[in-house]
Amino acid sequence: MFHPLRVSAIERITDDAVAVTLSVPPELRETFRHTPGQHLNVRYRVDGEEIRRSYSICAPAAEKPDDPVLRVGIRMVDGGTFSTYALKELAVGDPVEAMAPTGRFVLDPRPGHYAAIVGGSGITPVLSMAATLLAREPLARFCLIRSDRTAASTMFLDEVADLKDRHPDRFQLVTALSREEQAAGLPSGRLDRERLTELLPALLSVPDVDGWFLCGPLGLVRGAESALRALGANRARIHQEIFHVADEGADPATASRVTSPSESRLTATLDGRSGSWPVENGESLLDTMLRSRSDAPYACKGGVCGTCRAFLVSGEVEMDRNFALEPEETGAGFVLACQSRPVTPEVELDFDR
């Protein structure tokens, strides 16, 4: 369900990125409290067209129920309708609709040693995690390894430097710039699997880290996961969120493998209400549902954000691509509705689980 909010501040943080703060009316404060790492699904109309996007919350989580701060980082994406609008036209006072914070890429603050490997705007949810953890848990430590193109394009430079100043003994920071020479001893160039395999053991004991958080473009996240596994990190302690998927990340072969029945029917439950609709040839189950239920949850429609996650109650589906669900989630029966096509004549989804 979308709620009406208003823009209360817009700060330019790099040439191509802004931080946008949304004010939350008193009656929605409990609804909009977030766990560090969660994101907001926003809806906006640009030239009459409805745009939905998901943006991670960069602000620390509120300790008290009465002061949630909804601040999100938005970087301009080539051809990105909402990001272009946010950078060029969005103004303080503008209305924006948003759903309650959601997402399972989270760090619940507790004592321990945590680490993150992020690329570009992947810093956004991790900034909230590190700031909240270090403020609330005096015994916790956090190591941030970030990769950006240049210092000028690095988001939240001041906020991260501030964390380093406030927690010099508990916050470890390594920045790698891919298009800029750095001082001797600091890594430059892309942070790929080979570079990380060399770098990580010099920074910390990989198997002893309590939680790894990987966030950013697909290539960086997959390379980091592979390096961590080779260095002995427990699979269950590695959490990931992918922000950008290049074309090569798609799996078009999957779609062509699917033999859809000539007629199929979707039954779905959302917010306690159920319905049943015929699936039209070639459409995803999300699109089937959206023809009758405009409240069906989605943001990217690209298999990346996970907003359309649903439990497959019965029947079989084939997903075109999946960059959002962990193997444990697909193993437990969850699917992405925006990527799912029916394999059996009857399919039932439950969005409420």
Q: Which residues bind ligand FES (CB under 6 A)?
A: 298-308, 324, 336, 338
Beta bridge partners of 121: none
Residue nearest to ligand FES (CB): 338
- What strands, in cross-sheet order, belong to the sheet with 39-46? 49-56, 39-46, 95-98, 3-14, 17-23, 70-75
Positive or negative, the CA dihedral 92, 98, 102, 105 is negative
Both structure tokens of 121: 């705007």
What residues contact 71, with CB distance under 8 A and at least 6 apart? 9, 19, 20, 21, 22, 57, 58, 59
Phi, psi of 290 (to 5 degrees): -65, -25
CB 299, min distance to ligand FES, A: 5
Kindly tell me which of 161 and 332 has the beta carbon lying closer to ligand FES. 332
* DSSP annotation of 28: G
Kindly tell me which of 14 and 340 has the beta carbon lying closer to ligand FES. 340
CB 289, min distance to ligand FES, A: 12
CB 309, min distance to ligand FES, A: 8
Per DSSP (E only), the strands in 198-343 are: 211-217, 238-244, 264-270, 273-279, 309-314, 317-319, 334-336, 340-342
Kindly tell me which of 71 and 301 has the beta carbon lying closer to ligand FES. 301
Kindly tell me which of 97 and 180 has the beta carbon lying closer to ligand FES. 97
Tokens 């589906």, residue? 317
CB 72, min distance to ligand FES, A: 17
Kindly tell me which of 8 and 81 has the beta carbon lying closer to ligand FES. 81
Phi, psi of 196 (to 5 degrees): -70, -35
Kindly tell me which of 187 and 342 has the beta carbon lying closer to ligand FES. 342
CB 279, min distance to ligand FES, A: 16
Closest listed residue to residue 155, CA positions, set 188, 119, 180: 119
Closest listed residue to residue 345, CA positions, set 260, 257, 287, 256: 260
Kindly tell me which of 34 and 309 has the beta carbon lying closer to ligand FES. 309
CB 285, min distance to ligand FES, A: 10
CB 322, min distance to ligand FES, A: 8
% helix / strand / coil in the chain, to the nearest 5? 25, 35, 40
